[in-house]
């Protein structure tokens, strides 16, 4: 049983703020990478306990988030150029996919460090479905026939994942505390807006992740159709709304693809006329 694990940093328990914890210049960046890697290891332990035998861990954090010296030795480590071509080496050879350290999509209320790609995005839609980084990859998986079975991150992310993918197993390890979408903010204002959260202790979070991953894997082995494949209907249209960066005004970009959501995600966005 082969599992593709997508990882990110902002949704990790104990990762407190953006600039200090998830950027190379941040004074707690090394600690943030360790916390993420230990959460990934916890998920691998859970998946393995329920029968998974092969793991590829994709480092999906732009600056890099996995400390591969601490990574479970059963895992293969994948790091490529970001943003790279979708779907980041995911293919139909995988049985299932999972997320660890995932944050909610842009403009989500009570979500810590919510964004989609970067903090300049207000809303990202594919065929008029609002998605974040999770939704984009879940759609890629659906096109390839790979089911999304597990996700760990902040509470707002787990709600987002459950609403998009019926049956997905989720684990919440912290919750954001600030209401409102932040649409009125500039890029820098929005980046700093959502750092507040209430966290579990990291050891408790990792135990819950291990247990959740094991539950997901056992359910998948029992009947993989418990985890819905997103229904995708071509043609595909993408529309992304951007906030002001202090210089440029808010604007919208679009792209189209006749028959592939993966193709759509790899097309260049153009200003909407």
Encode pLDDT of 165-190 as tens digits: 999 999 999 999 999 999 999 999 99
Least confident of 37-46, 75-84, 135-144: 75-84
Tokens 């912290």: give the residue. Answer: 174
User: Residue 88 region, left (φ>0) first, then alpha (ψ -120 to 50), else beta?
Assistant: left
What's the confidence (pLDDT) of residue 203? Answer: 98
CA distance 182 to 209: 30
Q: What is the pLDDT of residues 236-258, one digit of tens each?
A: 999 999 998 878 899 999 999 99
What is the share, in percent, of the chain residues with pLDDT greater than 70?
Answer: 100
Give the pLDDT of residue 143.
Answer: 98
User: For residue 117, what are its two tokens?
Assistant: 């790609």
Residue 142 sits at φ, ψ, to 5 deg, of -60, -40
**Which of 64-68, 100-104, 246-250 is predicted with the least confidence, judged by mean pLDDT?**
246-250
Give yes or no for a cis peptide into 142 (omega within 30° of 0). Answer: no
For residue 236, give the nearest of 260, 268, 253 by alpha carbon: 260
**Look-up: residue for tokens 């999906």?**
60
Confidence band (pLDDT; 50, 70, 90) for 32? very high
Between CA 78 and CA 75 the distance in angstroms is: 9
Mean pLDDT within 51-68: 97
pTM over 0.85: yes
Total residue length of the chain: 273
Q: Is pLDDT of 83 > 80? A: no
Residue 26: alpha-carbon gap to chain centroid? 21
What local confidence, expressed as pLDDT, does residue 132 receive? 98
Please report how many Cα atoms fall inside a 13 Å half-sphere around the Cα of residue 160, on the Cβ side. 31
- At 197, phi and psi to the nearest 5? -165, 160
Please report the pLDDT score of residue 188 as a whole number: 93
Q: Is 33 exposed, middle or buried (0-12, 13-18, 19+ CB in 10 A)?
A: buried
Main-chain phi, psi angles of 42, to 5 degrees: -65, -40
Residue 157 has pLDDT above 80, yes or no: yes
Cis-peptide, bond into residue 83, ω within 30° of zero: yes
């Amino acid at each position: 049983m082969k599992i593709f694990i997508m990882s990110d940093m902002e949704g990790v328990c104990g990762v407190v703020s953006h600039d200090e914890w998830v950027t190379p210049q941040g004074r707690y960046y090394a600690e943030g990478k360790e916390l993420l890697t230990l959460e990934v290891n916890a998920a691998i332990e859970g998946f393995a306990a329920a029968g998974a035998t092969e793991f590829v861990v994709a480092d999906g954090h732009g600056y890099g988030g996995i400390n591969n010296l601490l990574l479970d030795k059963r895992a293969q480590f994948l790091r490529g150029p970001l943003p790279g071509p979708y779907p980041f080496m995911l293919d139909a050879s995988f049985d299932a996919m999972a997320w660890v350290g995932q944050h909610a999509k842009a403009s989500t209320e009570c979500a810590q460090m919510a964004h989609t790609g970067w903090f300049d995005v207000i809303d990202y839609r594919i065929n008029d479905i609002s998605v974040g980084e999770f939704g984009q990859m879940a759609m890629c998986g659906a096109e390839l026939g790979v089911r999304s079975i597990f996700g760990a991150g902040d509470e707002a992310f787990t709600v987002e994942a459950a609403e998009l993918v019926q049956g997905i197993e989720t684990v919440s390890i912290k919750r954001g505390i600030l209401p409102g979408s932040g649409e009125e903010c500039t890029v820098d204002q929005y980046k700093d807006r959502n750092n507040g959260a209430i966290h579990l202790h990291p050891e408790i979070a990792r135990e819950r992740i291990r247990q959740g991953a094991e539950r997901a894997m056992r359910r998948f082995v029992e009947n993989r159709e418990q985890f819905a494949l997103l229904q995708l209907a071509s043609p595909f249209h993408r529309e992304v709304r951007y906030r002001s960066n202090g210089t440029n005004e808010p604007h919208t970009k679009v792209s189209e693809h006749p028959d592939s959501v993966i193709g759509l995600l790899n097309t260049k966005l153009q200003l909407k006329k």
